[in-house]
A and B are shown apart, each in its own frame.
Chain A
Amino acid sequence: MLAQPPLDVVVVGGGTAGWMTAAALAKLLPRACNVHLVESEEIGIVGVGEATLPHIRGFNEKLGIDEAEFMARTRATFKLGIQFENWARVGDCYVHPFGTFGRGQGEVGFHQYWLRMMHDGHLVAELDDYSLACTMARQGRFSLPSQDPREISSTFNYAYQFDATLFAPFLRSIAEQLGVRRTEGRIVNVELDGESGNIAAVELQNGERIAGDLFVDCSGFVALLIGKALEEPFQDWSKWLPCDRAVAMPCRTETAVTPYTSAIAMDAGWRWRIPLQHRTGNGYVHSSSFIAEQDAMDALVAAVEGEPLVDPRVLRFKAGRRERSWVKNCVAIGLSGGFLEPLESTSIYLIQQAITALVELFPEKEIAPSDRDEFNRLVDLEYDRVRDFLILHYHATERSDTPFWDYVRTMEIPDSLAEKLELFRRRGRVVKYREGAFLEASWVAVYLGQRVFPEGHDMRADLPKSDALAGGMEQLKTEIRQTVHAMPDHLGMIARYCPMAA
């Protein structure tokens, strides 16, 4: 059989999703497709996706991106996790680390030994103190992880906090070098094929017509192709994730450039704080059913630490996803396919997973239904799992001090989450997946941080003698403290490794 002629792929939209998709397709499938990206500079990009998950490092690696250059160009800082403040109770504070508790080895999770000591009535330190990533985050230190699994400094992973409005242009230069064609222009019409219902072409304001075999909708919330043209229904999850607005306002950094993102619970939602090299991103994600826009803006302005750099800007959204992300010859990637609030920095992760699935299932000109169905199955699985993880943060709270918190605390939750919660409550077990955004340590951190405390523990954790266990835990804590102490502080590391151009 002859090799297939390359497919003409049209990417609509030039934000983070659009350029990530274009660059990845051009790099990984060079002879399978010709990529043409259409974007309009007047539309601008949402670009609040400033915080990421460690998976992005794999994406950058595949594209052959040099880390230090990427960080300098996007004015990035390192990210070891997310600090949650005031979530279960006002005054609470915990870190969801990108790393393990303990050494993360062995059959029995470290948290099980920790629980056993608690249940036995021993005095033990906070679980955070046994996590290298948490300790680094709290002390504001950073160095790159070790590759040697025997070393404690191999027990963490990291992501970036970066300026999303600089990431797309950075990717654009890579994509264009790889041969991606770019057309500037506003799309005024989507032409459907009468017989198949496929998208035949998009028409621009200047009359230009761009035809293709496969269309990737990266047009953001407007969902020009999958929503407006193909009318694929949207599954609304706002009964579980009622936040539907964000006010965003970057400011000058007055306090620390922390190697972590903060998520601070507010009266009707939560506020992000994302320190970059040149500024700090802030925003208040809230529910319009519980607070007026102006009040949210005022609350944000009152809460930010430094001089605002611009006026607050409002974003509107709805939590949920398309029933299907791939319909006919149109694949939705990014906000056109679904939206989950940035509480766990999953926006870019979800984009990346969709791109990976598209690359793995890249179709022929005549699209096989099995490719489309498999893509949709994979994307749905990712969305559904992230959804449950997000709901957990709201629902597992003791707060009833505002109507918003009272609602989320008492609302019905999906069965899939109710089972997970109950299982953890019993003896600290996490429903186990080998694949997915958040693995055991993440769930453990958030359950415990949200004050879901197990009644029992894994019986295997009873095996060691209690003084031997206490001694081992003490030793681990000391080793972590000493290791972190020897690390450079976060800003020092950045200054040496990846300073932005002055």
Chain B
Amino acid sequence: MSTRAISSVAIVGGGIVAWSAAAAIRRQLPAIRVTVIPVPVPADALADRIGCTLPSIGDFHGDLGLTEADTVVRAGSGFRLGTSFEGWSGEGSRFTHSYGEYGRPLAASAFYHHWLRAHRLDEAAPFDQYSAGAVMASADRFLPSERGPASRIAGYAYGLHVDPNRYTEMMRAFALHLGAEERSGSVRDLRIREDGFVDAILLGDDDLRADLFVDASGPQALLFSKVEDDREDWSAYFVADRLAIADEPATTEPSPLDHARAASNGWAWEASSPARKSRGRVYSSAHLDDAQNDLIGYGEPVSLRPGRLSHPWVRNCVAIGDAAVAIEPLDWTNLHLAHSAIDRLVAMMPATDCNPVELWDYNRQMNVEVDRVRDFVMLHYVASYRPDDPFWQDASSRPLPASLEHTLLQWNERGRLPFYEEETFSRDSWAAVLIGQGAIPRRLDPLLNSVPEKESARAMEQLRNAIQSAVAQAPPQSIYLRNLALQGTR
């Protein structure tokens, strides 16, 4: 069979993921004709429905040529610097997971090694006091890292808190502006060729043919489920299997800090953007009846079936977003993973034969990345300490995937964080969660020997003071957003 460049892509899905994929392909591979079939977004498509995003969204917008006038001002988004984890290591415990640097390396050792030594001497402030992002978030202030005075002290990064509906509308308009086409209809069935490739989507009364089919329809996987259902199930790793969301119009000023609170049967989040206040509950149906009081005011609970496809790209059909991976929104990885998939899809666009070796590389990279995200999310449970609560006892004693076991062994023994390819969260993020939840290594890094304790203590104190005074100069987020809006309209 002859092969040629892919010239048409059909995308099924009507949410952020589908329209983002359409925009990215049109923007970066304009020779490809893109048709979107905007089926309704199901309640369990988290990448389409969760508004909190990681700093990678900024890179994604950069590649598309979108500015904050579009993604923030027009779409009504806010900035987010991190998450405050509350109660994960017992009532009253808390720490902030922010993005970017926690401290600065000193001599041959990472900052967290210096912190661990100072902690042992009882001379360290909480670890998140050394992160400019975390301190700024707790102070309810915001300046972007590249312009903020704190960037000279310790770099930090930020994600956005988007309003999913307005953001989807913005992205749809942008994709259409770039030449993506919209085709209404519902997916009735697929026509599969003899060699297993998808030939066309059968819509209401006609067909849509394409060289490549992208399934962004959420966990239902309208296309992919008809192609392959080989799936890696993670229910042995995660206890929570339900999620409920409550969204209300904003009543307070938007905060760059969101909250993830441990509850007796799971956890709850609270986050605010200029447009809305978002709350959510993740819990285990075995530990909480769906009808219980806890959930009053929330929308209809949806089921979570944690896991990922074994091969998210098979022949000429690729699943992205929740169609490929389902994981609870702890640490807000859902849209991030969808963006990674879109980036790779664009970068690795094969010819019409979808050569197995190219798909192998795509699937390999995706799976490695997704599995490490799973490890990071699971870490919160594994390192938790709520001994009086059956849910948490169960969640913290689940079997570990080998890669997480390896990381924990190295960390618990000597504070080492082994390198993994395609890792989403930096070593500082891992350290922030491990330390924040009280996992303190048995040994100190021997390389610390070349720096006297007093010297690290002095450097740590200086850094903390510098962060404090830099943060004091940053405006509250609401003022920053107002200025941004004014610039946009000038």
Contacts and interface: CB of A to CB of B under 8 A. Distances in A.
A426 B350 contact: yes
Contact of B450 (A30, A426, A427, A429): A30
A359 B418 CA distance: 14
Contact of A374 (B355, B358, B416, B449): B416
A361 B416 contact: yes
Given A433-B421, A460-B346, A463-B28, A419 B410 contact: no
Contacts of B31: 459, 462
Contacts of A323: none
Nearest to A455: B351
Contacts of A419: 357, 360-361
B65 interface: no
A67 interface: no
Given A456-B351, A459-B349, A435 B419 contact: yes
A421 to B, nearest CB: 9
Contacts of B347: 107-108, 458, 460
Interface string A50-94: 000000000000100000000000000000000000000000000
B358 A423 contact: yes
A205 B6 CA distance: 73
A359 B450 CA distance: 13
A29 B447 contact: yes
A1 B360 contact: no
Interface in B441-468: 443, 446-447, 449-450
A383 interface: no
A370 interface: yes
A431 interface: yes
Interface string B198-235: 00000000000000000000000000000000000000
B63 interface: yes
A372 B365 CA distance: 28
Contacts of A32: 446, 449
A407 B63 CA distance: 47
A177 B235 CA distance: 58
A151 interface: no
Contacts of B6: 459
A435 B348 CA distance: 21
B286 interface: no
Contacts of A361: 414, 416
Counting chain A CB atoms within 10 Å of each CB, the highest count among B5, B31, B419, B446 belongs to: B446
Contacts of A62: 108
A118 interface: no
Nearest to B419: A435
B413 A28 contact: no
Contacts of B360: 419
A360 interface: yes
28 contacts: A28-B450, A30-B450, A32-B446, A107-B347, A359-B447, A360-B447, A361-B416, A368-B414, A370-B409, A370-B414, A371-B414, A374-B410, A419-B361, A422-B357, A423-B361, A426-B355, A426-B357, A429-B358, A429-B361, A432-B421, A435-B419, A456-B5, A458-B349, A459-B6, A459-B29, A459-B349, A460-B347, A462-B31
Name the 6 nearest CB pairs between A and B, nearest first: A32-B446, A31-B449, A422-B357, A459-B349, A362-B446, A370-B413
